[in-house]
Amino acid sequence: MAGLDLLIIVVYALTLVYVARQALGEMEDWATVQLDQNGLKEELTRANLQGKVNINVGLKPRYGFEPISELALSISNASPVPIYVDWDRSSLTNFQGRSRRVIRITPSMNLDLSRPQVFSVIAPGKSLSERIVAEDMLKRTPEGILQVAAPLVDLGAARGLPDDGKLEFSLRLLLLLVEQERQVDDDVTTHAVLCRFIVRRIPWNHDIPWLRR
């Protein structure tokens, strides 16, 4: 009986080792995308917008090595005057630094890209939430509707990064602050705010201290 018990224990132990090795073999690295908050704070301070404008971008805690097709942008106006967003003079860059015009996604996407986009206004104490893409990501269907046909960035490029490596892309927002009694085409204060995004590869064993490479 003791011999049978020992055999059962050995088989059980080997099964656990096999399952553990299979699980470890299936674990993969992942990517993180983070908005450079320190850099954004410096940009807002330089433009005298610190405490007046808050900018956030909805990002997941972690990503697979997958394409990102859009950004969820939120801008809050904590100033006493309206703020306008000039989409046509705002731009998105990719990992290669190529700059493209920002396009705000609309419900119908029946847009004429040869025409200027309407400014978005953010009243004092209010927020604006928009989904944005780069112009060259869009392709028109036979019905005339624009669809996203290419990624903003492809995180597959981060798969081969060294542990201390990184990739960057950016969003340059053009914001206009307008006096209460003025109109957009009057003399306004214009600010270009750069939002930098840092992409890193995170090893699968990052959260397991004794297994870190």
Residues 152-183: tens digit of each pLDDT: 999 999 998 998 899 999 999 999 998 665 55
Say yes or no to pLDDT of 185 above 80: no
How many residues in total does the chain contain?
213
Question: CA 196, CA 93: separation in Å to the nearest integer?
Answer: 10
For the record, the structure tokens of 167 come out as 């990739």
Of 159, 169, 158, nearest in space to 197 by CA: 169
Q: Provide the pLDDT for residue 14.
A: 64
For the record, the structure tokens of 163 come out as 């542990």
Backbone angles phi, psi at 190, to 5 degrees: -110, 135
Confidence of residue 108 (pLDDT cuts 50, 70, 90): confident
Structure pTM?
A: 0.80
Say yes or no to pLDDT of 43 above 70: yes
Question: CA 104, CA 132: separation in Å to the nearest integer?
Answer: 5
For the segment 76-81, the average pLDDT, to the nearest whole number, is: 95
Q: Provide the pLDDT for residue 11.
A: 65
What's at 89, amino acid-wise?
R
Say yes or no to pLDDT of 28 above 90: no
Phi-psi domain of 144 (left: phi exceeds 0; alpha: psi -120 through 50; beta: other): left
Question: CA 50, CA 38: separation in Å to the nearest integer?
Answer: 12
